[in-house]
Amino acid sequence: MTQDVLPDDVRKGRAKDLLSQGRLEEARALLAELCQGDQRDVEAWIMYSAACAHLGNFEDVITACRRALAIQPDYLPALTNLASASAALGRHAEAAAQFGDVLRFAPDNPAVLNNYAHALILAGRAGEARAALENAVRLQPYYAEAHYNLAILLDQIGLPAEALREYEQAATLKPGLPRLEERMAQLRQSAGRMA
């Protein structure tokens, strides 16, 4: 008795279902088969990269994204996933350059600017990071994480009053961000000693 092989679009739908159900290893295995079967299927490579990212297999994410980009060099999900995987592996200069590539296609995307800035900070490029974060909060004034990251950066470069304003804005938008209240209290206490 032979087993019928399902068409790729049905198998891809099954993989999406597995991903949404959190059955990551099964999804990854099915997507690996799909990628090997049709090595020019950009969507399969991106779905495979997503499964690998959720499993913490960031080297595999990079490989999958590079395969997708070899097929479609300006494919934004592949560019974004590649940059995020590089950042997760601690390759901050690489991640900053890759997020810079993403910005060529999405220059007004606050989330990309925020991620780009984070990579820049970790790569030791605080001035560029500040400009990216200020642009992110200008584009999306209600983006709490960008205000929060800008506050951290301003605090690190010795601008406590500006940092406090950004922390307060982040707290208004999204209370409960890590160490938010603690940092605001420290800055307020320091400001009181300086007065």
Mean pLDDT of the chain: 94
189/103 same-domain check: yes
Of 163, 107, 157, 96, which is closest to residue 127 (Cα–Cα)?
Answer: 157
Is residue 174 situated within a structural domain? yes
- Is 30 in the same domain as 95? no
The pLDDT of residue 7 is 83
Cα 151 from Cα 92, distance rounded (Å): 20
Predicted local distance difference test score (pLDDT) of residue 115: 97
Whether 28 is covered by a domain: the verdict is yes
Reported confidence tier of residue 4, pLDDT bands at 50, 70, 90: low
In percent, the amount of the chain with pLDDT more than 70 equals: 96
pLDDT above 90 (res 194) = no
Give the CATH number for residue 177.
Answer: 1.25.40.10
Return d(Cα 112, Cα 190) in angstroms, integer.
Answer: 33
One domain, residues 189 and 96: yes
Position 81 pLDDT exceeds 90? yes
16 with 66, same domain? yes
160 and 97 in a single domain? The answer is: yes
8 A C-beta contact, residue 85 and residue 66:
no
The backbone torsions φ and ψ at residue 56, rounded to the nearest 5 degrees and listed phi first, read 80, 15
pTM for this predicted structure: 0.88
Residue-range definition of the domain harbouring residue 120: 90-195
Pair 183, 144 in one domain? yes
Give DSSP secondary structure letters for 13-30.
Answer: HHHHHHHHTT-HHHHHHH
118 shares a domain with 55? no
C-alpha separations of 86 from 21, 127, 137 in Å: 26, 21, 24
**Number of folded domains in the chain?**
2
For residue range 92-107, list pLDDT tens digits in order. Answer: 999 999 999 999 999 9
Considering the chain, what percentage of its residues have pLDDT values greater than 90?
A: 91
What values do phi and psi take at 130, rounded to 5? -60, -45
Domain assignment present for 84: no
Per-residue pLDDT band at 3 (split at 50, 70, 90): low
Q: Is residue 126 part of a domain?
A: yes
* pLDDT classification of 1: cutoffs 50, 70, 90: very low
Residues 134 and 41 in one domain: no
Residues 122 and 177 in one domain: yes
123 and 65 together in one domain: no
